[in-house]
Structure 1
């Protein structure tokens, strides 16, 4: 442990020890996605305080703890990953019912978001026990914060987290086509050995801006925005560009305004048809994104209700 983390442990105690940490609760702790300095003071305090730690990989977590000078015997670490989450959750619940405080950490980032942890949290809550979040690092929000993915309208505000797309080409192609009809920002994750295939699949989106963020917070971090159709050529420009874990951000697309064909047709159809049928036909007729048209249809319906 470096001297800097020694002082961090002291600061963690000073900053967080006065807070309430109820027994019989599961503390879901976000950990760094690459840079060890991204740990929070409250996370350091809780990882010292709890009676045990459930983790995605006990060896990885043991190494992480030692980096901060937090020594834990192996008996205090419980493996809980995607292959045993349901079974291990029952062990966690049994210990919580005894009044123990337990933490859960994934290998990196915020548990339950692409990583294991969601089933554990659901099981603990179903047992009538508390789950307490300790927020921190997340590759998803980190990439979004610098992508500059500006919404063009209310219909394209917010974002959709799609995670990893299918490994089979046909399924992945269908998913990309569906995402192409989504007006909102879409966030994907991808591994280095598959990023080339994903780039080829996304190229059909043409000029739609896409941000690739790899190795976020690490030494060779790289973040670049390119039109979707240029992604394969950019990746081929250097072997280094395909290394590391990726967050891929599809920028929002602009829905036509009230004078545009999509909304014009939608308004005509809404006068005669139920919302879903009107949206489906408007999308087929004009090629406008169905999800954006649906959001617009709800707004049109609300406007009509207010006028009445």
Structure 2
């Protein structure tokens, strides 16, 4: 009887990140039907069979060449450390991608999205990549609808994911799409990862507002940071610099690139995140100390800025040493 398993081909390149290759093999390799039979066949291929350099201190020996792509049902392109530097694609990559059959599902992990974009596979589609590379991706591929805040995208069989760990989310999504939540959840349990993560990449970014070299609003900002727990008015801020509210607002925007109100909200979010990560305070107490007043107000701001609730943020980032004993 012919092998009816869904064939997943992982196309690796020089500079492979080994974790990303392991993610694909581990997750798809664990998927089983009710009789315990494997649902996927995962094969690794490269442009020229043989040892492939990784970003670690060991190579990966790949015995399959690009001919595997001819029969693949899903093709996954992991990242390479070469993606972080402007470089032309390796010889033979375009020809290898051309071997993929029409209708084959194609996915990338992390900066593997650069390969898909260079091949024109992402034109006019939503896509994502690692947030550190988002600006350069936009410069190179303005025709792609890039969303650097999400963990993964799925647009008519062309999928992309953000950083390495987001490759887990992407693979679970594909398994869930193919075989349902029960199979995907069992794979997640076997890997000891959540079957679905809340929010997107935004919650993993720290985006403090840079300090200007020369500032005429520094005293007001320092005072505001000491008083985040209470309402802070524009008039109070201007008074710290002995100026009118109009002049203060103009100077503040020139120096900080944002309005005083927007800056205050950003600082309150930063304070709330720190308290959620490092303290045992209740959500209500965190909201009060960060100056949001109520847990409901803080929840709205974190959801808008980070895409997660305070509880979900704490569950992801809270320092284990800070958790109370049970």
TM-score for both structures, normalised by structure 1: 0.31
TM-score for both structures, normalised by structure 2: 0.29
Q: Larger % of strand: which?
A: 1
